[in-house]
Chain A
Amino acid sequence: MLTRLRFKRDFRLIVRCLADKPSDGDGKIPESKPKPAEPQKSSDNATERIQELLKLMMAEPKIKESEYKDKFASAPVIQRKKRSDEIEVKTEKIEESITKAAGEVAQALGGDVKQTEAELLSRVLGKINQTSTTLSDLLVGMKIDRSKEPEERQKKPETRGQQVKRLTSQTKSEAQQTRYSQRKGRSADGEQKREGRDERSRRPSPLTPTSVTTVNIFSGEPLGIFRAKESNHGTKLEVWESLQQRELTLATSQPPVNYFQKMALWTEQGKIWKFPIDNEQGLEEEQNVHFSEHIFLDSHLEGWCPKKGPIRHFMELVCVGLSKNAFYTVKEKKDHIMWYKEYFESKKDLLAEVGAWDHQSTSAEAKQS
């Protein structure tokens, strides 16, 4: 328990030291296991150190690799990292086999064997470096990436305090400065406020007054192609034009904004009466028919109906009824009367027998007229 605590305190101290240099790439590794790169820690710049490390790797890749693995074996174990390590090993194996295969192919092809192999490998591995063929040379760049990555990942579970330090140290100074200065300006009297505002409104358009060129759109030189003469628009397409008109009304139509507009819209769609109200609207068929033709229907009886008697009486009643009907057209009324005519004529014999149809009188009538 006690050791753990001391350990913790140590840890805290170290972490604090580290936190002072936020971009320090080493994270917490030195504490868990002393590392060969430790003495370099005193060097002022982290990037410099990384570069030195890189140089080291480039110079003697073999040693670096073993050391690299060594470090991994003893580093604080994190599940995810281990997995990534496995993948790396696997890929390395694949790369080795690819290199081997490429070498064999190059041998088979003959000629400049090294060049061919390099080309093949660069194809596969996407390396630009075409002359060197050793695997480690090809993989040097990758290794550097890897060595950096776990370090960064280790840094992740840092404490909130460290996070804060790191985050704020970058932004705090300037952010606070601006905010406080803003605040100062605002809390001061209104004139300063105005000023601040003016500054702000000027800021997005620093060039406004000077750089805008006013162009008169009518200042151009005419092309001189056309000469004014009587207009001739050539062939006319009626449907096309009506469709163009339709598109135009569509483009400019809007939902009505008050009831009158709504009514106007409905009127245009033919849903309500047109103003001024005309109760014969839409009755175009009867437009030119005089009202007397609707009312005085007796003339249709002339020529076939007996002058007197029950049939005449009946037909006159029919005419009165029809003359009051507002829903039939004149033609329909006439057809109605003619239907009775045909009916009575088909029953002529019976009617004559009864005495209701005075055959002679009607025929005489017909002759007279």
Chain B
Amino acid sequence: MYSSVIVPRQWTRFTCLCRSLTSVEGQKLPQNSKSSDGISPPPRKPRGPTDLLQALAATVGTDPTAAHYKYHDDPYLIPLSNFRKRSYALSAEAGRKAAAWIRDEHSNLFTTREWDPPTKNKTPYFNADPRIEAFAPKPIYNDASKVTEQDLKYTIQNALIDDSITIFQLLGGTSGVSEELKLQLLQLLCFYNEKEPESMEWLEERWFAANTRDRQAATWRLGGLADQIFESMDPKTPEAYCAMIQGMAKYYQAERAHMLTMEVKEKGIPLSTGVYNSLIGCVGFLREGTTLRVEALRSLLAEMHEQGISPNDETLSACLRSLSAWGGGKILQQMALSIVAEFRRLDIQPGLAAYYYLLCLFCKERGPRFDILSTIINELEQKEHLEAKEPADTNFFITAMGVCSDHLQNITMAERLHALLMKGDNYKLVGDAYKESIYYRHYVTVACRHASFEKTLELLDTLVPNVYVPEPSVMEEIIKTLEVGGAGDRLAQAWSQLVVFGHSKRARLVERLLDAMVNTYPGQEEEVKSKMRAAAADMLSFGQMTPEEKEMKDIRSPVQKLSATAVCNIIEMCSDTQDKADPLWKSVEVALQRLRKEEAAGVPARPQALADVAKKAAAVGLPGIAATAVTYLAECGFEEAMAASVHVLGTMLNRPEQEVEELLSQGQSALVSSLHPAAMAVAEAYSLAKTGGPIIQESERTSSSSDSDSDSSSDDE
């Protein structure tokens, strides 16, 4: 009885299993199948080869506290300064390039069967089937190689200009190549102006090559191969004309491009949007003065319309590019707005490049401040994702952040912009390493100046050091912020950051940091204070290592000396201890020696601090340090020296100050016998301070003598 019930149940389960198997394996289930049990599998979706990978990649969030993926190979050598980041990434790339070079140079090792018996000829053979094009040796073309039109096609498709020119010459120049290939080659030559472009393969190289902006000058190669090919084409096709005009206009050979256009129009050959776009891009080279140029631009657009050619979004950005290149001013700005409105009517929305040119046009360094960025950000925030349409799009974010920082000085705008960049895969629009760095420079600067302290700290914690390493100027800004925020432990940390980022030899920055540390020092907790003291002592020893290294290695560039004020700051912080045995007193002593040997530039700005240190040292029971400090003050001719020396001597001899003054007013010779050498040094400092600045020889002598033999100076009087 039960079995009869069980069997059908089993049966449905079986059919279900079969169906799922077929759908998994063959994926050939008819799409409209509506099965009896109400289960309808979804139709198959066609997927590209990288769709799966991209979906997986999207699940991996970015971890700003980790180094970039490319540096993961060696966790012991994770780079933290800009210089190292650059050199590590490029070294890896250099290794790949070396491998590719070997492969290309010794291509026979990879394309023949080495294991064939010696009697047989080595046959061309690829060890992989299917053959992997990316791993195959790249063909090297020279005068001896036999080439076909196929090779020419290959080189044109891969944008190998130099090779294609070689092959073209080998094939017999203008007479030996078919018209179609000639046209293709002409386009390639015109596009790159016969210069080899960057390779697609070496990503790191492109990322770190600080692309200089293309020069706005006529760089078109006159009478080059492109001209020759164009001349040789007998029935000159519209394509040839278009390629030629676009090439000339792209490299700012404006007049010739214009002449050729006139010729083409007379012949009644149809032009293209691309041609007009490029002509618009160089129309400013034909005229002088804003009004004439605007007029020329207007007439060019009208001509475009007459010819029945419709504009596209590149037309818009070409117009704005020209306008932004002609300077600023009311007329150009009005014109730009009209053009944007005109294209909006045609349902052509400005792209990132267009916005970039608008920003250039409106937000000048000097001049009235315009806020067009808020409209732009509003517009962009509505979009699902930003699409790159032309290479100039990568300029948008860096310029917009620059406007936020310098022009508008608005942190909320900067935060919105940054959120926009972080959305989806918009980050690809940041451009290259150079642009990225400038972008973050602006962002951090504006955050330091205008954001709340907590927010700034949060931002710094995310960005530094893995995403962005601050440049010295930004570091100064950060130190300033930390100083105002009173974050003592952060300042102590900033010193180690300076060392890691390779800024520690910039005396100005270190001085700035020391200033900030001294200013924030008094209000800190004891733990933080000790950290700051340690940092200060470290700065001193870091600076001191250099002269020894200099002797050993013969460093060429002179090492900048810390200023006396900075050294004084170190002394002030290090001396903040009541313990006589504290090793920091050692640092104080070293710093004082450096001051006396004139290894620091200038003089202390606050001698009172040194005087206090002298008193403190005397109180703690370190007469040597106190004497050195006072002597230094006296040598420098500070008025504080007198009071300080009296006070110090009073502490040393344990007597009231009046008594000490009386003592000092006696002849020095009387003192020599009765006083401890350190006390004697103080007394001498007093007399030095009293009589005024020492003469040259004297100062030389005292500065060269250490305080241990200072009693020998008594023969002076």
Q: Which residues of A contact B (CB under 8 A)?
A: 5, 8-9, 11-13, 15-16, 19, 157, 159-165, 167-168, 171-172, 175-176, 179, 182-183, 186-187, 193, 196-197, 200-201, 204-205, 207-208, 211-240, 242-244, 246-264, 267-271, 274-276, 281-283, 327
Contact = CB atoms under 8 A, between A and B. Distances in A.
Nearest to A165: B637
A208 B408 CA distance: 7
Given A212-B369, A218-B340, A250 B523 contact: no
B691 A271 contact: no
Nearest to B703: A160
Top 6 A-B pairs, shortest CB-CB distance: A161-B637, A282-B130, A220-B337, A161-B693, A234-B272, A274-B49
A281 B197 CA distance: 32
Interface in B373-421: 374-376, 388-391, 393-394, 408-410
Contacts of A182: 519
B586 interface: no
Interface string B358-376: 1000100000111110111
A217 B342 contact: no
B497 interface: no
Given A160-B637, A160-B693, A231-B312, 7 more contacts: A13-B692, A179-B606, A197-B485, A221-B337, A233-B273, A234-B309, A240-B246
A15 B692 contact: yes
Contacts of A208: 409-410
A243 B243 contact: no
B53 A217 contact: no
Given A204-B409, A221-B341, A226-B301, A235 B238 contact: yes
B528 to A, nearest CB: 15
Contact of A223 (B133, B301, B369): B301
A255 B337 contact: no
Interface SS, B side: helix
B99 interface: no
B334 A220 contact: yes
Contacts of B70: 255-256
A228 B35 CA distance: 51
B274 A237 contact: yes
Given A15-B692, A167-B603, A220-B338, A183 B305 contact: no
A260 B637 contact: no
B341 A234 contact: no
Contacts of B522: 183, 186-187
Contacts of A235: 238-239, 242, 270-272, 275
B694 A12 contact: yes
B184 interface: yes
Interface string B189-230: 011100001101101101100000000000000000000000
Residue in A8, A168, A223, A244 whose Cβ sees the most chain B Cβ within 10 Å: A223
B140 interface: no
A243 B187 contact: yes
Nearest to A270: B134
Given A226-B342, A253-B203, A162 B57 contact: no
Nearest to B374: A214
B693 A16 contact: yes
B369 A207 contact: yes
A186 B484 CA distance: 8
B428 interface: yes
Contacts of B694: 12, 159, 161
B285 interface: no
Contacts of A240: 187, 190-191, 243, 246, 274
B69 A225 contact: no
6 contacts: A183-B519, A213-B370, A240-B190, A247-B391, A258-B57, A260-B57
Contacts of B391: 247-248, 250-251
Interface in B463-502: 484-486
Contacts of B525: none
A264 B60 CA distance: 14
Contacts of B695: 8, 11-12, 15, 159
A217 B340 contact: yes
Interface string B685-704: 00000011111101100010
Nearest to B242: A235
A271 B519 contact: no
Contact of A159 (B69, B696, B717): B696
Contact of A237 (B246, B428, B429, B602): B246
B341 A222 contact: yes
B52 A276 contact: yes
Interface in B433-481: 449-450, 453
B341 A204 contact: no
A211 B408 CA distance: 10
B341 A211 contact: no
Contacts of A211: 368-369
A238 B186 CA distance: 12
B116 interface: no
A326 to B, nearest CB: 10
A255 B312 CA distance: 31
B603 A160 contact: yes
B130 A161 contact: no
A271 B128 CA distance: 12
A217 B298 CA distance: 19
B115 to A, nearest CB: 15
Given A159-B637, A231-B310, A226 B191 contact: no
Contacts of B698: 8
A9 B339 contact: no
Contacts of A232: 308-310
Nearest to B207: A255
Given A215-B362, A240-B191, A270 B133 contact: yes
Interface string B108-138: 0000000000000000000001111111000
Contact of B200 (A214, A217, A250): A250
Interface stretch (B3-11, B15-23, B171-179, B344-352): B344-352
A282 B126 CA distance: 14
Contacts of B410: 208
Contact of B691 (A9, A236, A252): A9
B666 interface: no
B311 interface: yes
A274 to B, nearest CB: 4
Nearest to B391: A251
Interface in B492-516: none
Nearest to A157: B696
B69 A257 contact: yes
A261 B57 contact: yes
Contact of B603 (A163, A257, A268, A269): A163
Contacts of A221: 337-338, 341
Contacts of B51: 275
B80 interface: no
A244 B485 CA distance: 50
B669 to A, nearest CB: 14
B484 A204 contact: no
Contact of A226 (B130, B310, B637): B310
